[in-house]
């Protein structure tokens, strides 16, 4: 039996096999207009929410997973300057690389906002196994106390 080009297929030919859809529950608990269920988040929105929750989590804050978190909140109580912004950038990169497997991190930019006593953070990443291009999200970090 001879193999012809049409006698086999690869993963790139089957879109259901080459891509993956990420889903999460919306924390606003709004109702879906058709089904009446809680509306959900999909793909990039779900991963963005997960990244935001992850960088706002301290160590020992999640029950049964004390290893998940970062020192970002502690760093927010340091003076607002470029060296603290560099430290925040390193903490955010480590946190995302270690605890978010759905993301391939491209860059993290942290700019000190002295007037608001906080930081503007821009995170760029790619979703793993998804056709979406570069995704950019912006987060403002400020002290809460």
Statement: residue 1 has pLDDT above 80 = no
Per-residue pLDDT of 3-27, as tens digits, reads: 444 444 444 444 455 566 666 666 6
Sequence ranges of the domains in the chain: 22-142
Helix, strand and coil content of the chain, in percent to the nearest 5, comes to 30, 25, 45
Question: Phi-psi region for residue 75, left (φ > 0), alpha (ψ -120 to 50) or beta?
Answer: alpha
* CATH class of this structure's domain 22-142: alpha beta
Per-residue pLDDT of 54-113, as tens digits, reads: 999 999 998 999 999 998 999 999 999 999 999 999 999 999 999 999 899 999 999 999
């Amino acid at each position: 039996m001879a193999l012809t080009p049409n006698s086999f297929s690869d993963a790139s030919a089957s879109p259901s096999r080459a891509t993956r859809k990420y889903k999460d529950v919306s924390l606003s608990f709004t109702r879906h207009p058709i089904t009446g269920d809680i509306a959900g988040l999909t793909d990039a929105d779900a991963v963005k929410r997960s990244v935001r929750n992850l960088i706002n989590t301290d160590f020992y804050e999640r029950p049964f997973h004390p290893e998940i978190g970062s020192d970002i909140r502690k760093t927010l109580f340091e003076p607002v300057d470029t060296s603290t912004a560099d430290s925040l950038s390193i903490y955010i990169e480590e946190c995302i690389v270690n605890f978010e497997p759905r993301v391939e991190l491209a860059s993290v930019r942290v700019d000190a906002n002295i007037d608001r006593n906080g930081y503007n953070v821009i995170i760029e990443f790619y979703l793993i196994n998804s056709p979406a291009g570069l995704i950019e999200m912006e987060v403002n970090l400020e002290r809460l106390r």
